[in-house]
Amino acid sequence: MLRISYLRVGVAISKPSSISTLPSISFSSSPSSSHSHLTFIPKTFLFRPPSLPLSPFTSIMAPKASASYSTGSSSGEGGGEREILVQHLLVKEEDQKLLLDLLQRISKGEDLSDLAVEYSICPSKDEGGMLGWVRKGQMVPEFEEAAFGAPLNKVVRCKTQFGWHLLQVLSEREESLLQDIQPAELHAKFQDPNFSEEAQLIDVREPEEVDKASLPGFTVLPLRQFGTWGPEVTTKFDPQKDTYVMCHHGVRSLQVSKWLQSQGFRKVYNVSGGIHAYAVQVDPSVPKY
């Protein structure tokens, strides 16, 4: 099993998507299975956009599998909700004098992130108060209301059960899309001669599997070699392009699809059923194994 480990301070919940920093990776595999698995456990990280939100005041609620995920047809458009990039500083409720002093220093040109490192009591202080990309439903209500109502780059304050926050929204974007695509739909797209140039095709199977059966145009990124290609994925692939991910049966590819979405890939499509389903449903000439 391939495990990607994270630590989220103050919230003991698992997060199926992850990582903007380079993850710490341990690898193990079961002798009875040829499949590798990504397991995501949130951790405080060095911020390299895009990222995931991280905070002890994140709402304690079961997270969604993805920002936008559907197992239906790929013809529909998902997403549309805003995601915002937020940094913040947290002080105790009784430290109002400190809060006002920090606000004054910010008004004179000091940077919120620098002050967070020195004064914030949130674990995110180690990253200059960076929480990463967040969407509605992930933060406690008071923080969410203030953050989603704040003008870009303006420092605003709000109070939650954790104390006083100074927060700053640095950027915003449309929520990303993660969706299944059926083999027949993928086959139809292959009929367009421009498809391979306009889309990015990723096969996460192992080399010995690819030798048995493959589809044209796919770049092979073996899941067991995640530690090699993972850190460079956003430089070798364009997060703004439609990205299609395939494996043998659709399980490993879904795990990688979720991870790619967490890295800022805007539209990610998981090939439902993998190359096996493609061979059974669409093209019998593709070997089955």
Out of 54, 89, 245, 247, which one is annotated catalytic? 247
Task: Give yes or no: 247 in active site.
Answer: yes
HEC assignment per residue over the chain:
CEEEECCCCCCCCCCCCCCCCCCEEEECCCCCCCCCCEEECCCCCCCCCCCCCCCCCECCCCCCCCCCEECCCCCCCCCCCEEEEEEEEEECCCCHHHHHHHHHHHHCCCCHHHHHHHHCCCHHHHHCCEEEEEECCCECHHHHHHHHHCCCCCEEEEEECCEEEEEEEEEEEECCEEEEECHHHHHHHHCCCCHHHHCEEEECCCHHHHHHCCCCCCEECCHHHHHHHHHHHHHHCCCCCEEEEECCCCHHHHHHHHHHHHCCCCEEEEECCHHHHHHHHCCCCCCCC
Residues designated as active site: 247
